[in-house]
């Protein structure tokens, strides 16, 4: 009887050890929507991009283990709401609306919106968007900006689950214009030279936006991530990653203010 108890105890210790070691319990799950090149996209099944490299550098600096999960855009925020992930990195702009529901790291990238459309169209002001079919990714700042011009749920606005889908729709001629982040727009235009696309931006309507990692409100991770990000920027690692993806040196001053 005594032997049985000892054996049982030993077995339980074993089971617990396996559970702790094998599970990803100790890894922080980071959510992303990997259809937003060059920030996060799939390359032969692997998630790559500027954000992915920044995340890797920051987590190494913070000494934290993590697993990057391609949840998609809307599910990313749902996962934050339910505390199912540690945080999200996905070219997420800090906005007043989102600040009510999430905590943000310090910013790591400056962006602005662009309208992308075929060279055959003439757009010289935002008023020219009226009468055109516009594609945006659902739940993005692009959608918000276009709705500010045309009105909420306007019939000319098509909302897609991903920015990649919005671009496919532009290629197919289902929409005339896509409004999205400048760096993503420029990457798409570069990769699709035959589509003969051009861009327009409105400096007053499309103000600078800042990307940051988004946490569930009250997350204790934020402080560690901010400290690590600061070190990654100050050490020059940030500039190295930036140059690798964009081919020029970043202005880190804006980020450190
Ligand atoms: N910066 C824009 C926003 O925060 C678009 C981000 C979309 N990111 C993505 N991975 N699809 O609304």
Supply the DSSP string of 58-107, one letter for each residue.
HHHHHT--EEEEE--HHHHHHHHHTT-SSEE-SSPBP-HHHHHHEEE---
Q: Which atom of ligand 1 is nearest to the CA of 163?
A: 11
Q: Which atom of ligand 1 is nearest to the CA of 139?
A: 12
Q: Quick check: CB of 88 below 6 Å from ligand 1? A: no
Q: Quick check: CB of 181 below 6 Å from ligand 1? A: yes
Q: How far does residue 64's CA lie from ligand 1's centre (Å)?
A: 25
16/49 Cα distance (integer angstroms): 37
| pTM of the predicted model as reported, rounded to 2 decimal places | 0.90
Q: Quick check: CB of 91 below 6 Å from ligand 1? A: yes
What pLDDT sits at residue 20?
42
Q: How far does residue 35's CA lie from ligand 1's centre (Å)?
A: 10
> Tens of pLDDT along 145-160?
999 989 999 999 999 9
Whether ipTM exceeds 0.95 = yes
């Amino acid at each position: 009887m005594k032997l049985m108890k000892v054996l049982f105890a030993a077995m339980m210790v074993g089971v617990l050890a396996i559970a702790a070691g094998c599970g990803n319990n100790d890894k922080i799950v980071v959510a992303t929507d990997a259809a937003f090149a060059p920030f996060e996209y799939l390359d032969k099944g692997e998630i790559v991009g500027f954000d992915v490299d920044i995340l890797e550098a920051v987590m190494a600096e913070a000494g934290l283990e993590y697993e990057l999960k391609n949840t998609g855009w809307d599910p990313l925020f749902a996962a934050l709401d339910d505390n199912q992930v540690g945080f999200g990195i996905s070219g997420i702009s800090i906005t007043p609306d989102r600040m009510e529901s999430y905590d943000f790291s310090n910013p790591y990238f400056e962006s602005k919106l662009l309208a992308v459309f075929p060279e055959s169209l003439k757009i010289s002001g935002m008023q020219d968007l009226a009468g055109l079919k516009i594609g945006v990714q659902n739940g993005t700042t692009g959608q918000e900006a276009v709705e500010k011009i045309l009105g909420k749920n306007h019939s000319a606005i098509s909302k897609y689950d991903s920015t990649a889908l919005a671009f496919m729709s532009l290629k197919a001629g289902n929409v005339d214009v896509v409004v999205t982040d400048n760096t993503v727009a420029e990457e798409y235009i570069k990769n699709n030279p035959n589509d003969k696309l051009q861009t327009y931006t409105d400096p007053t309507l499309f103000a600078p936006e800042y990307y940051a990692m988004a946490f569930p409100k009250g997350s204790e991770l934020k402080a560690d991530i901010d400290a690590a990000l600061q070190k990654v920027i100050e050490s020059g690692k940030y500039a190295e990653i930036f140059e690798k993806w964009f081919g020029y040196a970043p202005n880190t001053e804006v980020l450190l203010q």
